[in-house]
């Protein structure tokens, strides 16, 4: 007898599984590319401004020349000397005040860390945010640019005026200003003169308001 063939088992045909749709990432990629581009542009403008300002500095040996120091005859003479020396050594004096502030911050690491955190918050939450970036989302709600700016101003006022950071900054600035005024009063400005381009354009001074406006895309 012929062997019975095994029964045929039913086979199920499974439909082909389509791959999951690929979500477009154009907006995310463009936002990711915009942040480094904005950072590079911001730092580039800042470095260019610093270079232009430092290019107007007078020779430092001329600033510390001891032969040009003498006691002023009167208060009006000291005031006139300070005014002339400020116009001539303005970049050097600004560097002296900046060095005084840097030395004070480096001697207080906690205050320096608080200042850096505050500057980082300003840069990443407002200054360097692209104009087309989505609103900031935190604590289950979204914040507009105006609300973000208000929060940063309140945080800055708290850090500067209600902590030791404000006292440290004002003390360092006062010390730098005292050094500048003392040098300006005792330095004889007889041989000092301003170049004509400096008198017409104010030298290498930087317009801070226009710089911040360009950096923030006109949001300030």
Tell me what the pLDDT averaged over the chain comes to.
76
Helices (H), 60-188: 60-63, 75-88, 90-106, 109-122, 145-161, 164-186
| pLDDT of 132 strictly over 80 | no
What is residue 23's DSSP assignment?
Answer: P
Lowest mean pLDDT among 83-87, 116-120, 131-135, 194-198: 194-198
Q: Report which of residues 188 and 133 the model is more confident about.
A: 188
Question: What confidence category does residue 78 fall into, taking pLDDT thresholds of 50, 70 and 90?
Answer: very high
Predicted confidence band of residue 48 (pLDDT cuts 50, 70, 90):
confident
Taking the C-alpha atoms of residue 149 and residue 143, their distance in angstroms, rounded to an integer, is 10
Map out the domains of the chain as residue ranges: 74-193
């Amino acid at each position: 007898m012929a062997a019975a063939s095994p029964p045929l088992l039913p086979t199920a045909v499974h439909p082909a599984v389509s791959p999951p749709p690929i979500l477009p990432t154009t907006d995310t990629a463009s936002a990711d590319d915009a942040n480094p581009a904005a950072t590079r542009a911001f730092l580039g403008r800042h470095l260019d401004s610093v270079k232009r300002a430092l290019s107007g500095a007078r020779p430092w040996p001329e600033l510390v020349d001891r032969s040009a120091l003498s006691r002023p005859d009167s208060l009006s003479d000291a005031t006139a000397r300070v005014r002339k020396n400020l116009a001539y050594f303005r970049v050097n004096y600004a560097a002296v005040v900046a060095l005084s502030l840097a030395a004070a911050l480096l001697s207080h690491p906690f205050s320096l860390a608080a200042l850096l955190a505050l500057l980082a918050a300003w840069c990443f939450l407002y200054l360097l945010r692209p104009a087309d970036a989505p609103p900031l989302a935190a604590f289950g709600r979204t914040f507009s640019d105006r609300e973000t700016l208000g929060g940063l101003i309140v945080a800055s006022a708290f850090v500067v005026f209600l902590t030791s950071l404000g006292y440290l900054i004002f003390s360092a600035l006062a010390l730098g200003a005292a050094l500048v005024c003392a040098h300006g009063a005792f330095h004889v400005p007889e041989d000092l003169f301003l170049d004509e381009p400096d008198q017409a354009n104010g030298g290498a001074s930087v317009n801070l308001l226009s710089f911040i406006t360009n950096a923030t895309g006109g949001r300030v």
